[in-house]
Structure 1
Amino acid sequence: MSRRAGLALLFILLAVASAYAYLPLNLSELAASRTPALLVDYAGRFWPPALPGGQWTGLLNAALETLAMSAIGTLAAALLGLALALPASGRWGAAALAISRLLLNALRAIPELVWAMLMVLAAGLGPNAGTLALALHTAGVLGRLFAEALENTPSSSADALRMAGASRLQAFIYGTLPNLWPQLLAYTLYRWENNIRMASVLGFVGAGGLGQMLYVHLSLFQESHASAVILAMLLLVIGVDGLSQWLRQRWVVR
């Protein structure tokens, strides 16, 4: 091991030890003799998953609401991210580059849950807040990824169209976008997979969907009802992951 690697390892160990000393952790409780029995008892409260008869329709509606939040939020984020990626890639000058990158950094620096709390105050409780929160944070992420993809895309096709008399917009649509489209779609589908998971928990701050339903049941200590909601979340995530994988194989992989 080199001296530099040894110093880096020592620094990491010191950082971990300092964090452990600073935080009031009591890991000895995990090794207590009663811990396994408590864990088994708590896990047993979640089985079997059950809901009162009238709430299964509500569960389906909440699942569809979560799916719609993730899909609309991701689509809006992709459009906003692409609009910000054009100046962020340096195509419109240094001033536009600095402003757009600052905006993208600000959008993605604020987590989705914080955006959701802000949007709940601005737009009220419900899926509107969740959709806006996902769109704003994801726009910052996708905008940065799109800008990097634009920077690495050859400009020869667009330059040829510009020399032939095409406008800047026409050169982008017909010269740059066809080469960039598979990468943009892959990034968007990947973020949709992440957003369906995040949309499932934004309800904890009142942003609607399955998360809000889960929060209500956990608050009332209805663990078996909560496990039904968690199972719906799992099935929804698996379904979206499978659909995203199918779309990538059909439209992205060549």
Structure 2
Amino acid sequence: MRQRHGTSAANPPWKLPPPLFNARCKACWATAAALVLVVASFVSLDLQWAAFFSLEALDRMGRFIGEFFPPDFSLPFVRRVAWSAVETLAMSALGTLLAALAGLALALPASRHHEGDRARLRGAARLLLNALRAIPELVWAALLLIAAGLGPFAGTLALALHTSGVLGRLFAEAMENAPRDAATALRTQGVHGWRVLAYATLPQVLPQLLSYTLYRWENNIRAAAVLGVVGAGGLGQLLAFHMGLFHMNKTATVLIAMLGLVALVDGLSFAMRRGMR
């Protein structure tokens, strides 16, 4: 039987798919280990799926959800919710701004800017960034309530501290991975120090830094709404108060305000990131 042009029995025109598992593939072993951990998690946890999906549980959940309707849209309460929403928005915006400034200040010593850079403070700066983001916002808020007292000030500081650790690490990675052609060209011309950073590195990574900041602002809106549960002001404090008193119609109004605020900030952040691109 005559072979087609350009093909042979040794080199067929089709290829077999790669094997699903290869003993030399590190990613395959990592995936297998992750699957083992997931299976072990299901086995070790006492997950009562039968009770969760029972008719009795579904009936109780249905009656509980029914207590949310109708929401309380009385004018005095809507005004109170609107002011709490503004407070939550201000907490998230100010906390994110402070975190971006602090994160940038910590990212400079936490990154290596060129091959010969010794970066003596890199380890200490990264350790501080790890410590800041390792503590959740709720824990920061609970600690700061002792010094700052109840209200949005403690919540704003809690958001700023945690987000500083997150943004500082992202900013440092962006600076280290930035193209170094422009910075090298300036150094060969005798330019050193902050001028290289200002005229070569930052202009290249600035859109990425702004994108990271906007993304964290979206997350901080949700976090600010939760921080009020520990008395840090905003919609979360209103939510915790009315849920504790079983005012479910008022709770429904607060939840609607939370959803609307998150959707608004998500839309604004998406539009701003799209404009930067």
TM-score (normalised: structure 1):
0.90
**1:165-204 to 2 correspondences below 5 Å:** 166=191, 168-204=193-229
Could you tell which deviates more after superposition, 2-11 or 194-203? 2-11
Check the 8 A contact 1:73/1:134 in 2, yes or no: yes
Which residue in the other structure is 1:137 paired with? Answer: 162
Return closer, same or farther for 1:202/1:11 CA change in 2, 3 Å cut-off.
closer
Aligned-residue RMSD, C-alpha: 2.3
Q: What is the number of equivalent residue pairs in this alignment?
A: 251
Q: 2:139 and 2:29 mapped to 1: Cα distance?
A: 39
The gaps in structure 2 that reach 5 residues or longer are 1-19
The alpha carbon displacement at 1:185 in A equals 0.5
Q: Alpha-carbon deviations, 1:196-239, whole Å to 9, x = none?
A: 11111100111110000000000000111001000000000000
Return closer, same or farther for 1:225/1:106 CA change in 2, 3 Å cut-off.
same
Could you tell which deviates more after superposition, 65-74 or 17-26? 17-26
Tell me if 1:54 matches 2:68. Answer: no
Which residue in the other structure is 2:148 paired with? Answer: 123
The alpha carbon displacement at 1:176 in A equals 1.5
Q: 2:196 and 2:30 mapped to 1: Cα distance?
A: 52
The alpha carbon displacement at 1:95 in A equals 2.7
What's the % identity of the aligned pairs?
51
Q: Alpha-carbon deviations, 1:7-47, whole Å to 9, x = none?
A: 9658745x456545544443332233322221111110111
Tell me if 1:2 matches 2:21. Answer: yes
Letter in 2 for 1:195: N
Q: Which has the higher helix share?
A: 1
Check the 8 A contact 1:62/1:210 in 2, yes or no: yes
Letter in 2 for 1:136: L
2:50 equivalent among 17, 28, 38: 28
Which residue in the other structure is 1:66 paired with? Answer: 88
Q: Alpha-carbon deviations, 1:63-89, whole Å to 9, x = none?
A: 001000100111111111111111111
Q: 2:126 and 2:29 mapped to 1: Cα distance?
A: 36
Check the 8 A contact 1:90/1:96 in 2, yes or no: no
Return closer, same or farther for 1:11/1:153 CA change in 2, 3 Å cut-off.
closer
The gaps in structure 1 that reach 5 residues or longer are none
Check the 8 A contact 2:110/2:119 in 1, yes or no: no
